[in-house]
Chains A and B, each alone.
Chain A
């Protein structure tokens, strides 16, 4: 099994598609860094003058009409149906400040979690493609039947392929996330602020990155399982994309209550350690109308972890069962 896994890993790294895929992931990470740099870059002198002019104008406007705005808002508030939101939330009519017109300073602690989440999607997607093509190629070329005449123990063959697809992605994910973390830290450190990056923040960030790495490995293995079940790389990718777009994208949008059972949200819950989602809360009003508000709910990390864990285990077991029995011709 160890020997077979070694062979599969060697095959993985000699695949051209893998090299291209890793290069593409690297490129996209680079683009993320450039975007961060663009974002964090302070305003040029001309832009700053512009902001100053706009600010002064707004200030003048406030001095003339500020009281009027406040009164208007209070009036609007009275006509709101019950239950009313808090007055402070409803009427945020404040005098303008200069930073509303300039650009807020880039903060590492605010930027990084979202970038990590984005990168984890990217890694999972890339790993899925690589895993699917790694296994799919054997079925479409038919070389799997030749392989099985050398090693007929199917479970070993299956296990070695999945382990290779999963572990092959580990170093890729670790390196890319390290580049992203270090790059953003340096860029924001130079152009914005990294203040508040305490040991605890680093701990949270590396926890998130670690979970993204595990997710990439799982996605690699699942890509392999799907390609094996469907016997084709393209079929595996098509089914996965179709599911995410149609089922999760379209139906998930209608059935907001079903969201805790969507892969995407559980993925977020796993990566971000808890995530939130909005549920429509609709009821009929006394005057015969229909009123909807949105309530924010939390999907726990544990939910995400169990959900994803079960999905991965079930699919891998299904693949093993099918491959064990399947006629290879």
Chain B
């Protein structure tokens, strides 16, 4: 039993744009995805998530580096492991004029899975009857569910979802999240990419954060956010001026945000209350602002000396 579902070392990819300019999309990525559970693959737009996933699936060639899936070297041994991997890359892509069911039947036939599995996966993704409609008549959420249904045809051990909630409404997002949770609990490995931490942190057991095509941090969600000092609290207090003075003197960063103050760098939120109370300033509201990926990311890239925009 391998320990890692996916592992990459020194993975690189440079695109050449039409005008001959080179874009380094992935530069030396070392990614490890443990077997079992949901692994969030996080990074802002353009950080190389989709590119890495495409390389893993053999859709594009890596310039350098090695990759393994369940300890098999890919893309060389991809045909041996592809039966255990189900993937959705970017948006779901099917034949628009065929029904959802027909699309799945063709895929099932191609890999020699019995046709009755098609009905099963349609039911599992609650598409059921809508399978008889043309793919192009589907809503975005249904397209996404059909794509998930397609990955389930193989009964895969590893599922790779690239931004599966893109464009979905809150109900759709929750549904996908629950599906991923369920798959993870069945002992499968789900690798889900996203640029929104909040979207994955509720389901992810472990995460990897990348920026500019490099790994910046990885571990459990708590570890990654805990390691960051980016905890922020939103404070409502009467006298903004004195409060800012007091908190700044205590070494915290304070920004105004409408009727609130945003305070960065407090280890415990109680710290803020205590310091203000000592000067007879009373906090009427105190909201911890969760560290979001953006701030974690900015901080991580700053550490790497990579900060700034591209």
Count of inter-chain pairs, beta carbons less than 8 A: 75
Given A3-B109, A10-B109, A151-B110, does the pair A145, B89 have CB atoms closer than 8 Å?
Answer: yes
Give the residue of A7, A149, A153, A327 whose beta carbon is less than 8 angstroms from that of B106. A7
Contact B98 A14 (CB under 8 A): yes
Chain A residues lying within 8 Å of B96, measured Cβ to Cβ, are 141
> Across the interface, do A328 and B111 meet the contact criterion of CB distance under 8 Å?
no
B83: nearest chain-A partner, CB-CB? A150
B141 at the interface (CB under 8 A from A): no
Docked complex: A1-47 residues within 8 A CB-CB of B: 3-4, 6-7, 10-11, 14-16
Residue B256 lies at the interface, judged by CB distance under 8 Å to chain A: no
Given the interface pairs A3-B110, A14-B102, A143-B95, the reply to whether A150 lies near B82 with Cβ below 8 Å is yes
Given contacts A3-B112, A329-B60, contact A145 B93 (CB under 8 A): yes
Q: How large is the interface on B (under 10, 10 to 19, 20 to 34, 35 or more residues)?
A: 20 to 34
Contact of A141 among B61, B93, B102, B154 (CB under 8 A): B93
Digit string of B111-137 for contact with A (CB within 8 Å is 1, else 0)?
110000000000000000000000000
B94 A141 Cβ-Cβ under 8 A = yes
Residue A148 interfacial (CB < 8 Å): yes
Could you tell me which residues of chain B, from 218 to 277, have a CB within 8 Å of some CB in chain A?
none
Task: Give the shortest distance, in Å, between A227 (CB) and chain B (any CB).
Answer: 15
Within 8 A of B (CB), among A140-171: 141-143, 145-153
B64 partner residues in chain A, CB cutoff 8 A:
none
* Residues on A with beta carbons closer than 8 Å to the beta carbon of B97: 15-16
In angstroms, how far is the closest chain A Cβ from the Cβ of B190? 15
Q: How far apart are B101's CB and chain A's nearest CB, in angstroms? A: 12
Question: When the two chains form their complex, are residues B106 and A141 in contact, meaning their CB atoms are under 8 A apart?
Answer: no
Q: Which interface residue of B75, B95, B150 has the most chain A CB atoms within 10 A? A: B95
With beta carbons under 8 angstroms apart, the residue of A16, A143, A325 that contacts B93 is A143
Pairwise interchain contact A143-B94, C-beta atoms closer than 8 A: yes
Chain B: minimal CB distance from A16 (Å): 6
Contact residue among B59, B82, B85 (Cβ-Cβ distance under 8 Å from A145)? B59
Q: Which residues of A contact B92 (CB under 8 A)?
A: 146
* Cβ-based interface call for B54 (8 A): yes
Chain A interface size range: 20 to 34
Within the complex, the shortest CB–CB distance from A5 to chain B, in Å, comes to 10
Known: A145-B89, A149-B85, A153-B79. A328 touches B106 (CB 8 A): no
Interface of A is mostly: helix
The answer to whether A7 and B82 have CB atoms under 8 Å apart is: no
Q: Is B283 at the interface (CB under 8 A from chain A)? A: no
- Give the residues in chain A near B79, CB-CB below 8 Å: 152-153
A314–B179 alpha-carbon span in the complex (Å): 48
Residues of B within 8 A of A4 (CB): 110
Instruction: Name the residue on A nearest B154 (C-beta).
Output: A150
Residue A137, interface by CB 8 Å:
yes
How far is it, in angstroms, between the C-alpha of A7 and the C-alpha of B98 when the chains are bound?
Answer: 14
* B82 x A147 contact (CB < 8 A): no
What does the 1/0 interface line of A309-329 toward B look like (CB < 8 Å)?
000000000000000010111
Q: Assess whether B78 is in contact with A152, with CB atoms less than 8 Å apart.
A: yes
Q: Is B57 an interface position by the 8 A CB rule? A: yes
Inside 8 A of A137's CB, which chain B residues have their CB? 95
In the complex, A150 Cα to B154 Cα: how many Å? 9
Contacts of A327 in B (CB 8 A): 54, 59-61
Q: Do A150 and B111 touch (CB < 8 A)?
A: yes
Across the interface, name the chain A residue whose C-beta is closest to B98.
Answer: A14
- Distance, CA A10 to CA B102, complexed state (A): 10
How far is it, in angstroms, between the C-alpha of A11 and the C-alpha of B78 when the chains are bound? 25
Bound Cα distance A147, B98 (Å) = 15
List the B side residues contacting A146 at CB < 8 Å.
89, 92-94, 107, 147, 150
- Determine the distance from Cα of A145 to Cα of B53 in the docked complex, in whole angstroms: 12
- By a CB distance below 8 angstroms, the chain B residues around A138 are 95
28 CB contacts below 8 A, A to B, read A6-B109, A7-B106, A10-B106, A14-B102, A15-B97, A141-B93, A141-B95, A141-B96, A142-B93, A145-B89, A146-B93, A147-B110, A148-B57, A148-B59, A149-B57, A149-B85, A149-B86, A150-B154, A151-B82, A151-B110, A151-B111, A153-B79, A327-B59, A327-B61, A328-B54, A329-B54, A329-B59, A329-B60
Interface, chain B (partner A; CB < 8 A) = 54, 57-61, 75, 78-79, 82, 85-87, 89, 91-98, 102, 106-107, 109-112, 147, 150, 154
Further contacts, 11 of them, CB under 8 A, given A3-B110, A137-B95, A150-B107: A6-B109, A7-B110, A16-B97, A143-B95, A147-B107, A149-B86, A151-B82, A153-B79, A327-B61, A329-B59, A329-B60
